Amino acid sequence: MDNQNQQDSRRDFLKKSTALAALTISSTALVRAGQHDEKIASLFEKVDLHIEVNGVAHKLSVEPRTTLLDLLREQLHLTGTKKGCDYGQCGACTVHVDGKRINSCLSLAVTNEGKKITTIEGLGNEDNLHPMQEAFIKQDGFQCGYCTPGQIMSAIACIKEGHANSREEIQEFMSGNICRCGAYPNIVDAVMEVKKGGQSS
Amino acid sequence: MINFEYSRTSSVKAALDVLAKNPNASFIAGGTNLVDLMKRGVTAPQRLIDINNLPLKQIEEIPAGLSIGALAINSEVAENDLVKKNFPLLSMALAAGASPQLRNMATVGGNMMQRTRCTYFYDTAMPCNKRQPGTGCGALKGFNRMHAIFGASDKCIAVHPSDMCVALAALDATVTISNSKGERKIPFTDFHRLPGETPEKDNTLQKGEIITGVTTPKNSFNKNYYLKIRDRASYAFALVSVAAALEVSGDTIKKVRLAMGGVAHKPWRLTEAEKFLVGKTPTTENFQQAAELAMKGAKGYGHNNFKLKMVPIAIVEALSKASASA
Amino acid sequence: MDTILNQKDIDRVDGVQKVTGSAKYSFEYDFPGMVYGVLATSNITKGTISALDTKAAENAPGVLAVITHLNCPELPGYKTTPEQEKLAATKKGYKVFADNIIRFNGQPIAVVVADTFERATYAASLIKASYNKENFNTDFEEAIKSGTPLEGNNFKEYVRGEANAWKNAPVKIEATYTMPIEVHNPMEIHGITVVWEGPDKVTLYEKTQALSNTQQNIMRDFGLKKEDVRIITQFIGGAFGSAFNTWPHSMAALIAGRKVQKPIKLMLTRNQMFTLVGYRPQAIQKLSIGATQEGKLVGITHEATAMTGSYNEFTEGIVNGSRSLYNCPNVNTTYKVFPLDLSQPTWMRGPGETTGAFALESALDEMAYALKMDPIEFRIKNYAETDLERKKPYSSKYLKECYELGAEKIKWNERNHEPRSMREGDWLIGYGTGSGIFSAWRGAAKAVAKLFPDGTLILQSGVTDMGPGTATAMTNLAAETMGLSHTKISFELGDTNLPPGPLQGGSGTTSTLGTAVFNACENMKKRLAELVKDNPVFHTEIVHNVTVEDLVFENGYMTLKTDKTKKISYADVLKNAKLGVLEISEDSKANPMLNHSAFSYSVHFVKVKVHSKTGVIKIERAVTAVDAGKIINEKTAESQIIGAVVGGIGMSLMEEGVIDHRYGRWVNNNFADYHVAVNADVPNVEVLFVDKPDPVLNPIGAKGMGEVGIVGFAAAVCNAIFHATGKRIREIPVTPDKLI
């Protein structure tokens, strides 16, 4: 892991570059002095990021402040993952990182270096739906459809984690995904159906 | 959010070195609280030091009890067989917190470092001594339904929002902290602090330090229960919560640990109540007397006055539930 | 637990798009050179902007423009006419960036445009404003004490029979019920994508329940021609009433996009969802009811007080249900609305009726207890056979059937009437009921049906679908009417280039659009019959020239009624006639309902468990029986009622908008502090439909159901809590602290 040194050297280069050449103080102090001058902050280099999304390897260069959610939606155009609150309070942005469900709105993209991300687009397509996608249609586990990708990602993880052994357990372990249309009972039916039928992953 | 510098590190020493060079840096692990606070402009570190690769993820038995790394993931601790078997209170508290997704991200150290959910703290257009010392406490005469009834000051009546920390406080855990000089250990109950005159300080972690882990001593509690009362059935912060661990032998309480969440700036240990209960029989009457002792010094601020009534009920209920547990 | 499957239960036609993530919502369109708009908002509640410092934002990296009231271009719709000048402040409305007046905390003061979302967000945080602050009031109770209610036709007292007759009745109750602000909070944050081609032609992807209205608003404000304003709304991630208006952020995106002449998208934050897209107003209601000892209603007096924003007079039918739900000779209602220095409210699911039914149906329960009478028996005893308010018969009314169906399902007869009489361990058990009423109606709509030689049918109408499944229901309806498999039918919606459909709301979409679709299909069948009139296939000894009456339309074939062997497929009819397409355009008129009153009804039965010590409440069962006329698609209809009930669970147990009146600022404007129901709060909701057609309202027999499913539910919960605990809670939400 020589990342740190690499970055430091790049920063050294930056300090010497024209924009900051006249200033002999460190960029950190500069930011402090200028409070919120992002002109300078923007000179901070983007960070290299290697991630695999739905089986496709990406080599990206991203601003550290970009969340995994915004990276997926705005840069990779994978808009199936939804923004419902942006504060980790609704679950619409649920994706799998190395097989585990997380809220992508609270995960900085850069902290996912080397990880495998699965989004709703990586599950199945029209001709070959994932059993959970099929079950959501059959059980009518949605209305407007906006929370649905997050619900489905969460539902698959719920079974995989072993938290789908009863209606009550499913309810508790699906409570991180808010559905304002109120499809909850049908969502539980869908999870139970897939659980009963066994789940391919 | 203002842009910031970012670096990854892979050892505690390297992390501390970067921190030493960047006084306005923050460590980032799960990010569930820090990223949220940065989005709202509550905090704006100039550098984030990604510590996710530090080798602090262990959940293991040690001669003294249980050793949990600062970067152990909340859901993994909650589901760990060893934890479930020997420290069920911790498992129960963790499972009561946040959502499955957030528990998959949040780390033990991050959970300890999470900041209050006080709305005045989160809204940069409102006064808050914790966020901006000297601006006043918005909650004191404002909307304070979720706020403290114990140990608050007129500078701050915020509560610490963690469930996990309530269990660790009850279980007499110890926090291990590293700094440039080496390592220091402090009782978990001394990690978080009361607001006093300096509510901007949530805890006793000093500049240039990092939490590396928590150890929880072996215990003989055969009755455990974590009670969390909240406004909805799941995915909500506690109105009040109670961690209760008892060692009951025959008809006698040999040992008891009680701590509460949602009532103070830190996980609130009920030492008076514990002392009272030792040697007593586990009856509702004794639990009620213990709860009464626990209420000494409690103070409501208006919207949270109901906690003065709810807390003793919760204590009795948690003790009853624990006693009835297998 | 299992839904009964029948031919009415087709899966959602847009289900695959929704479960694969390919469904595109308004913020999710991508165009080359896309830029992002982010709003900066005021942190004072009332006053004027004295100075704005936008320099730092303008100089921030990636920023293309900052638009404020200082540089907002003059728009035709922003000019006030002399008549508008004369209007009361509460009728003037508010236009974003039109002036420097701050009317509520969180009002947009600038929109920042930048090349990335992150940069726009950051730059927006750099806008600094100075204000001349003015005194304000956001406190409803304070306004009632010291303010002046609005005046006008909307606030006339209603009196039937004798006013306040309840006072002279042998048994009487009086009680006051309060409820807080509730916020729609659909999961999709309101967002918009705008693409200008020059200054006078625009396409927008907008979250709207009312395509035509939105188009009109934009035409008016920008002075544009109809053909130059195209709105596309393929998917809406929920709305529940929050997407009728053309809100400030949409105007901001339009103004900004026109200025930078780049495709722009703008999404609110979840925090901003509490101040910029409406909410259900706070209300305090007094109900006074008088009855005879035998339980006949003598008088109902319903006095409702609610609030609105200072710049927009919002009114809704809070007291309407009290006038017509029961057979009561003497009813008087008053409705007062106080303006506050808050953003404007708007319609939210079951507007008015939901608020009113919470009070009325709670009070009915209180009266039933005062009479020592079963609450259902009491309601049936006062069953209204005609609409006493309008003095008209009902087009159809199966409320009694709803009482019966629901009572049987939940085993109401096993309920012990005595409060606090049922228990399971530490849990107190209670059963409660509450009814709902919501107006059924039919507006005007256009629809086009196109039949193709391959046997497929395309239906088109410019309606939008926020989730109930309009396209699915219309496909279902067309399949049934045309005698065609639903797999051969597609429904195109969500585009102003399509023939104008109805708005989606007020529980009138299916009735209104369904009529147009039904008529289009019927006319299509007539045209098909005309095309085969001379066809030798159908010639028999009796029949020479077939008419539509001689034919059965099923499975894509026209078959002679008298001889099933004689048939021809629709496809062949078109092929024989060498028609590339057979198109029927239907312009269906509104039904003025001159001789009838039409309503949908719901009856909720709720079983609650209340922890005897901690006050924690669990909804154990929810049974809702509904008279919504004929059900077009049972699967989506059931889901819609379940959803309404889930909304009702939130309303009764946890939803509460809180404002700090010292600052006029929201304190719980997010999903962690404003609680909506999560999965663990919701039992397996049992939905029962009477499913009998309304013979008057429209040819399809459907009434409406989106709203009525929530109306009365909060009262059912409060009544169940009373039954469980003996505590009458008249202030929702009922959180555990209210029960200890």
Token pair belonging to A8: 């430091």
Residue B233: list chain A partners with CB under 8 A. Answer: 171-172, 175
Q: Is the pLDDT of residue A9 over 90?
A: no
Count chain A–chain B contacts defined by CB atoms under 8 A: 118
Residue A4: list chain B partners with CB under 8 A. Answer: 7-9, 14, 18
Beta-carbon contacts of C86 under 8 Å, excluding residues fewer than 6 positions away, are: none
Kindly report, residue by residue over C570-624, the tens digit of the pLDDT: 999 999 999 999 999 999 999 999 999 999 999 999 999 999 999 999 999 999 9
- Mean pLDDT over each residue of chain A, to the nearest integer: 85
Would you call C20 and A63 a contact, using CB atoms and an 8 Å cutoff?
A: no
SS3 category, A6: helix
At B81, which amino acid appears? D
Q: Is the pLDDT of residue C112 over 90?
A: yes
DSSP character for B319? H
pLDDT confidence tier of residue A13, bands split at 50, 70 and 90: very low
| Interface probe with A: pick from C16, C20, C266, most Cβ of A within 10 Å | C20
Q: Is the pLDDT of residue A35 over 80?
A: no
Would you call A180 and C185 a contact, using CB atoms and an 8 Å cutoff?
A: yes
pLDDT confidence tier of residue C24, bands split at 50, 70 and 90: very high
What proportions of chain A, in percent to the nearest 5, are helix, strand and coil? 45, 15, 40
Token pair belonging to A62: 């991203």
CA angle B128, B129, B134 (to 5 degrees): 115
Give the rounded percent of residues in chain A with a pLDDT score beyond 70.
76
- Mean pLDDT over each residue of chain C, to the nearest integer: 96
DSSP character for C25? B
pLDDT confidence tier of residue C545, bands split at 50, 70 and 90: confident
CA distances from C706 to C73, C464, C641 (A): 40, 15, 7
Please state, in angstroms and rounded to a whole number, the distance separating the CA atoms of residues C141 and C457.
57
State the smallest CA–CA distance between residue A5 and chain C in angstroms. 27
Mean pLDDT of A45-51: 93
Kindly report, residue by residue over C227-243, the tens digit of the pLDDT: 999 999 999 999 999 99
Asked if C122 contacts C60 with a C-beta cutoff of 8 angstroms, the reply is yes
pLDDT at A3: 42
pLDDT confidence tier of residue C3, bands split at 50, 70 and 90: very low
Mean pLDDT of C327-340: 98
Asked if C160 contacts C323 with a C-beta cutoff of 8 angstroms, the reply is yes
Q: Which chains touch C (3 or more CB pairs under 8 A)?
A: A, B
* Sole residue written with tokens 């929920």: C238
Please state, in angstroms and rounded to a whole number, the distance separating the CA atoms of residues B163 and B172.
15
Token pair belonging to A102: 């997380």
pLDDT confidence tier of residue C4, bands split at 50, 70 and 90: very low
SS3 category, C506: coil
Residues of C carrying an active site annotation: 707
Number of separate helices (H) and strands (E) present in chain C: 17, 31
Would you call B36 and A88 a contact, using CB atoms and an 8 Å cutoff?
A: yes
DSSP character for C663? T
Name which of C118, C678, C736 is nearest B234 (Cβ-Cβ). Answer: C678
* Sole residue written with tokens 């070959």: A128
Tell me the residue ranges of DSSP E strands in B130-194. Answer: 174-179, 182-187
Name which of B7, B22, B30 is nearest A3 (Cβ-Cβ). Answer: B7
Would you call C680 and B119 a contact, using CB atoms and an 8 Å cutoff?
A: no
* Sole residue written with tokens 């007079």: C313
What is the β-pairing status of strands C202-206 and C229-232?
parallel
Q: Is the pLDDT of residue C392 over 70?
A: yes
DSSP C62-116: TEEEEE-TTTPPP-GGGSPPHHHHHS-HHHH---TTSSSEE-STT-EEEEEEESS
Q: Is the pLDDT of residue C198 over 60?
A: yes
Q: Where are the alpha helices (DSSP H) in C537-633?
A: 570-576
Beta-carbon contacts of B163 under 8 Å, excluding residues fewer than 6 positions away, are: B93, B94, B96, B97, B226, B228, B238, B241, B261
Please state, in angstroms and rounded to a whole number, the distance separating the CA atoms of residues C412 and C395.
29
C222 class by beta-carbon count within 10 Å (0-12 exposed, 13-18 middle, 19+ buried): buried
Kindly report, residue by residue over A152-184, the tens digit of the pLDDT: 999 999 999 999 999 999 999 999 999 999 999
Q: Which residues of chain B have pLDDT under 70?
A: none
Would you call C187 and A84 a contact, using CB atoms and an 8 Å cutoff?
A: yes
Please state, in angstroms and rounded to a whole number, the distance separating the CA atoms of residues C561 and C547.
11
Q: Is the pLDDT of residue A22 over 90?
A: no
* Residue in chain A nearest B11 by alpha carbon: A1
pLDDT at A44: 62
pLDDT at A36: 46
Q: Is the pLDDT of residue A29 over 70?
A: no
State the smallest CA–CA distance between residue C222 and chain A in angstroms. 29
pLDDT at C89: 87
* Residue C717 in contact with partner chain B when CB distance is under 8 A: no
At C428, which amino acid appears? L
Token pair belonging to B191: 């990690």
At A91, which amino acid appears? G
pLDDT confidence tier of residue A45, bands split at 50, 70 and 90: confident
DSSP C620-661: EEEEEEEE-BS-S-HHHHHHHHHHHHHHHHHHHHT--B-EET
CA distances from C718 to B258, C359, C602, C657 (A): 35, 10, 17, 19
Token pair belonging to C734: 């009922």
Rounded to two decimals, what is the model's pTM?
0.96
pLDDT at A38: 52
State the smallest CA–CA distance between residue A9 and chain B in angstroms. 12
Please state, in angstroms and rounded to a whole number, the distance separating the CA atoms of residues C712 and C690.
18
- B181-185: long-range contacts (C-beta < 8 A, 24 or more apart)? B183/B212
Q: Is the pLDDT of residue A199 over 60?
A: no
Please state, in angstroms and rounded to a whole number, the distance separating the CA atoms of residues C208 and C286.
35
CA distances from A61 to A13, A58, A71, B25, C114 (A): 18, 10, 11, 22, 19
What phi and psi, each to the nearest 5 degrees, are found at residue A96?
Answer: -100, 130
pLDDT at C212: 96
SS3 category, C3: coil
Q: Is the pLDDT of residue A27 over 60?
A: no
Please state, in angstroms and rounded to a whole number, the distance separating the CA atoms of residues C723 and A46.
62
Mean pLDDT of C367-380: 98
Would you call C667 and B236 a contact, using CB atoms and an 8 Å cutoff?
A: no
DSSP C222-284: HT--GGGEEEE-SB----TTTTSS--HHHHHHHHHHHHHTS-EEEE--TGGGGTSS--BPPEE
List the one residue out of C23, C470, C493 whose CA is nearest residue A147.
Answer: C23
- Beta-bridge mates of residue C587: C446
Kindly report, residue by residue over C51-65, the tens digit of the pLDDT: 999 999 999 999 999
Name which of B3, B138, B231 is nearest C675 (Cβ-Cβ). Answer: B231
Q: Is the pLDDT of residue A41 over 90?
A: no
CA distances from C165 to C157, C161, C333 (A): 15, 8, 12
Kindly report, residue by residue over C70-109, the tens digit of the pLDDT: 999 999 999 988 888 899 888 999 999 999 999 999 999 9
Please state, in angstroms and rounded to a whole number, the distance separating the CA atoms of residues C667 and C651.
18
Q: What is the ipTM of this complex?
A: 0.98
| Interface probe with C: pick from A39, A143, A152, A189, most Cβ of C within 10 Å | A143
Please report the sign of the dihedral spanned by the C-alpha atoms of residue B68, residue B69, residue B70, residue B72: negative
**Gyration radius (Cα) of chain C, Å:** 28
Please report the sign of the dihedral spanned by the C-alpha atoms of residue A113, residue A118, residue A122, residue A128: positive
Report the Cα–Cα distance between both ends of chain A, in Å, rounded: 32
CA atoms within 13 A on the CB side of C666: 27
State the smallest CA–CA distance between residue A139 and chain B in angstroms. 23
Would you call A111 and B99 a contact, using CB atoms and an 8 Å cutoff?
A: no
Would you call A28 and B98 a contact, using CB atoms and an 8 Å cutoff?
A: no
pLDDT at A1: 37
* Residue C668 in contact with partner chain B when CB distance is under 8 A: yes
* Residue C121 in contact with partner chain B when CB distance is under 8 A: yes
